[in-house]
């Protein structure tokens, strides 16, 4: 399972909150952030045969609904304004971008 916890500057860690569905086996967890405070997290859910799950959290907000891809993870990067995700088999790699704020 995948959890999240936040710690504001000078504060303490929040109570962990579940990101994945209860009982999911979350492996290959990746987290990326930009200077504005946008976070993107991804993992492979081996319970569902290796589906790639991705969530985004805007600055100061919580994680929104998940986007799921049936392919394996490649790479996750974030830059101000965009998150870029590569996924799929090496011979047929796909790229997905998402505007973030």
More confident residue, 97 or 2: 2
| pTM of this structure | 0.75
Which band of pLDDT confidence, cut at 50, 70 and 90, is reported for residue 95? low
pLDDT (tens digit per residue) in 26-35 = 888 888 888 8
pLDDT tens readout for residues 65-91 = 888 877 776 778 887 778 887 776 655
Residue 43: inside a domain, yes or no?
yes
pLDDT for 64: 87
Phi, then psi, of 92 in degrees rounded to 5: -140, 50
Indicate the number of domains in the chain.
1
Is 94 among the domain residues? Answer: yes
Domain that holds residue 22: 15-99
Query: Does 59 fall in a domain?
Result: yes
In a domain? residue 29: yes
């Amino acid at each position: 399972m995948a959890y999240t916890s936040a710690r504001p500057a000078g504060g303490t860690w929040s109570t962990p909150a579940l990101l994945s569905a209860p009982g999911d086996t979350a492996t290959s967890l990746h987290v990326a952030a930009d200077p504005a405070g946008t976070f993107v997290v991804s993992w492979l859910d081996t319970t569902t045969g290796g589906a790639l799950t991705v969530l985004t959290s805007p600055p100061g907000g919580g994680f929104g609904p998940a986007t799921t891809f049936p392919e394996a993870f490649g790479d996750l990067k974030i830059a101000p304004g965009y998150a870029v995700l590569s996924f799929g088999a090496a011979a047929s790699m796909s790229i997905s971008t998402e505007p973030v704020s």
